[in-house]
Amino acid sequence: MNKGRVVSIMGAVVDIEFERGQLPKIFNAIKIVGNVSGREIDLTLEASNHLGDNMVRCIAMSSTDGLIRGLEAVDLGAPISVPVGPDTLGRVFNVLGQPIDQAGEVASAVTSPIHREAPKYDELSTQAEMLETGIKVIDLLAPYQKGGKIGLFGGAGVGKTVAIQELINNIAQEHGGISVFAGVGERTREGNDLIGEMTDSGVIKKTAMVFGQMNEPPGARLRVALTGLTMAEYFRDQEGKDVLLFIDNIFRFTQAGSEVSALLGRMPSAVGYQPTLATEMGQLQERITSTKKGSVTSIQAIYVPADDYTDPAPATTFAHLDATTNLERKISEMGIYLR
């Protein structure tokens, strides 16, 4: 294993110097373990840039509080890998695939890297079938496609998370199959409420949940959607299942990418967003698809900043979606929500 040492810490970005000729590959996981003044350090990072002079710039997946220069870093030789398979159902994970529900370790010995190629063209399925949501206004006026990508657009407080929770209850219970929920940069309280509701309804037994909430560093919020998607892909590719993937909120994924991009020193693009916005969105969305083995149907909440649909974040997402539902503020002000 390649070893290096910490030479610079800038919030969620850490520069590590490795031995000449022993640099980690881009996206490799880097581990820092140590003890600083009685405080245990156990930090996982992801290699992002090779800066020259054997320096590698890395993104932290958890807080860098207490980290100091000179600590030893170890290249794990592979990207971040998370547990997949039936043992993940009914459990709650963080971005690294570590259980955070205080229910013990996951028995699964099967892991999968969060960075993967999208399915090839000849593996894709073109079959079109309607997904019944149980919400009359959607099924009648704006029906969703099974195996497609669905966006719930709206500004702050118009009912995106309420709609996601209603769809989880309706579709997951009726669907009776496997669901994965990825909480990306949203409120911890909402995640806690959702876990409680799913436990009461019994849906959680068929659901894997992954959270990287708004109190997490930008690296965790940027990668947590990939962790949830990786778990969903296993059931599609290895077990031939039709999987539901709920993501709340895709805008926070973009927002985290913007924070990381600034910390990495990249030149901002339109409206201050990262220049790699379209690439990052494409790498995530192109993996959410139906193949001849199974399907991943994704329902994504998408925050619209200042109700401006021309903002680059929602505008970039539009191109990848098969169906959209726009939640209007005028309607939500009358107390009318999707139910």
136 is catalytic: no
Give the number of other Cβ atoms within 10 Å of residue 3's Cβ.
12
160 is catalytic: yes
Phi-psi region of 153 (alpha: psi -120 to 50; beta: other; left: phi over 0): beta
Considering the candidates 186, 190, 216, 233, report the single residue annotated as catalytic: 186
Mark 225-261 as b/e (b = at least 16 C-beta within 10 Å).
bbbbbbbbbbbbbeeebbbbbbbbbbbbbbbbbbbbb
Of 179, 301, 201, nearest to 245 by C-alpha is: 179
293 is catalytic: no
Task: Note whether 147 and 242 are within 8 A (CB).
Answer: yes
| Residue 328 one-letter amino acid | E
313 three-state secondary structure: helix
Partners of residue 324 on adjacent β-strands: 151
Partners of residue 56 on adjacent β-strands: 16, 50
Considering the candidates 91, 160, 236, 287, report the single residue annotated as catalytic: 160
Of 65, 98, 59, 69, nearest to 81 by C-alpha is: 98
Q: What's the CA gap between 193 and 205, in Å, rounded? A: 16
Q: What's the CA gap between 213 and 281, in Å, rounded? A: 19
Q: Token digits for 64?
A: 């860098």
Considering the candidates 116, 187, 266, 293, report the single residue annotated as catalytic: 187
Q: Token digits for 300?
A: 């994504």
Show which residues are catalytic.
160, 186-187
